[in-house]
Amino acid sequence: MKELGIDCYLVFVRETAAMADPVRDLIIGGDVVWDSAFIFHTHREKLTKIAIVGNFDADAERAKGIWTDVLPYTKEISETLQKAIRNLRPSKIAINYSVDDVMADGLTHGMFIKLQTILSSYKRKFESAEKLIGRIRGRKTKTELELIRNACLETETINRAVLPQIRPSMNEKEIQQAFYQEMDQRSVKESWQRISCPAIDVGPDKNFGHLGPIDTMKAKHGHTLHNDFGVQLEGYCSDIQRMAFFGPKESIPDELTHAFETVREAIRKAAEFIKPGVKGFEVDNVARNYVLSRGYSEYQHALGHQVGVRAHDGGVLLGPLWERYGDTPKGEIEENNIFTLELYVTTKNYGMVSLEEMIRVTGDGCEFIIPPQEAFITLAS
């Protein structure tokens, strides 16, 4: 909070069992029923944490032992909340809304109106807590890093088990089915919605990432297989793309090799550039410029997103300064952030080539969480 010049952070929720602010598990833990306010206030190095909850919820909050004060109320939260804020005299009040970042947009519009009414004399002090939430969520602990690594290793293991089974003439849905079978056998869950996890693309005519698997798209000798895949293990996710080729190594066309090397090197250059303190869009820029310099048109998405409890974990984005990304690419990279590095180029005759790696930001650079792909995986044809 100090880093961001925020002296007061207010989480305002109700009936979290019906609809939970995404910060619930990060910051509160457990459910509340009536209107509840969780206040974090810093003043001269001292952090005060206050929970204002319905009488009914007060015991549960006290039992957590994390609050400086638990203030129960019986009828309406207004007075207790007004008094608490008056005592703290905050210069700014960060609240959970964000146009750009779903993980920081937990305050509903109805609750926002209610908060504005209760704290009407403070409403000019309201500001988005998106940066604060992004930092809390983005700084992974040692345990979190370990769990994410495990999810990456599991993804690799499944890829290694399933890819050799894929034969030309199988269609995309059948290939996806082979992954599902292995996932079910190993009792692992998909990292995003099952219908497109893994996303499977074969051949030159598929636009990666926008369509699900299609049962008329069949694998063929001399064509590529692309998959975008991740698993969720003990609550943490992976998100990795791999490329394979149906046929022996010697038969890979130069055009595909050139494309593969471009993607691999663009990722490597971004990985060499990234370190704490640089900004999201600067990292994207390194890869994007390299792709352009190799004669390809630029990829139509961001170079990387954070990964954690979710495959898309919000916060700072390694993206270009396009309107759709809002301010998220302007944030600074921090140590122990986990990012994907992913991009595609489009060849003239063989369709798209796309890879996605995952990195952890270290004190002065980054490390790949599992080894990045160096060359096409070759499949029997």
What is the 8-class DSSP label of residue 194? G
Shortest Cβ distance from residue 16 to its own copies (Å)?
9
| 236 part of the interface to its own copies, by CB under 8 A | no
Closer residue to its own copies, CB minimum distance, 116 or 169: 116
Of all helices (H) and strands (E), which one includes residue 72? strand 69-73
Closer residue to its own copies, CB minimum distance, 275 or 301: 301
| 55 part of the interface to its own copies, by CB under 8 A | yes
Q: How far is CA 292 from the centre of its chain?
A: 26
| 100 part of the interface to its own copies, by CB under 8 A | yes
Residues making up the chain, counted from first to last: 381
Counting beta carbons within 10 angstroms of the beta carbon of residue 29, is it exposed (0 to 12), middle (13 to 18) or buried (19 or more)?
Answer: exposed
| 156 part of the interface to its own copies, by CB under 8 A | no
Cα-Cα end-to-end distance for the chain: 57
- Of 9, 38, 179, 192, the one binding its own copies (CB under 8 A) is 192
| 47 part of the interface to its own copies, by CB under 8 A | no
Residue 46, C-beta contacts closer than 8 angstroms, at least 6 positions apart = none
Shortest Cβ distance from residue 99 to its own copies (Å)?
5
Shortest Cβ distance from residue 322 to its own copies (Å)?
9
| 113 part of the interface to its own copies, by CB under 8 A | yes
Task: Give CA–CA dist 100/328, Å, rounded.
Answer: 7
| 209 part of the interface to its own copies, by CB under 8 A | yes
Task: Give CA–CA dist 346/240, Å, rounded.
Answer: 19
Please count the residues of this chain forming the interface with its own copies, following the rule CB under 8 A: 50
Residue 240's beta-bridge partner residues? 229
**Residues at the contact surface with its own copies, assessed by CB under 8 A:** 14-15, 17-22, 31, 33, 54-56, 59-60, 74-76, 97-114, 128, 192-193, 195-196, 209-212, 300, 310, 312, 323-324
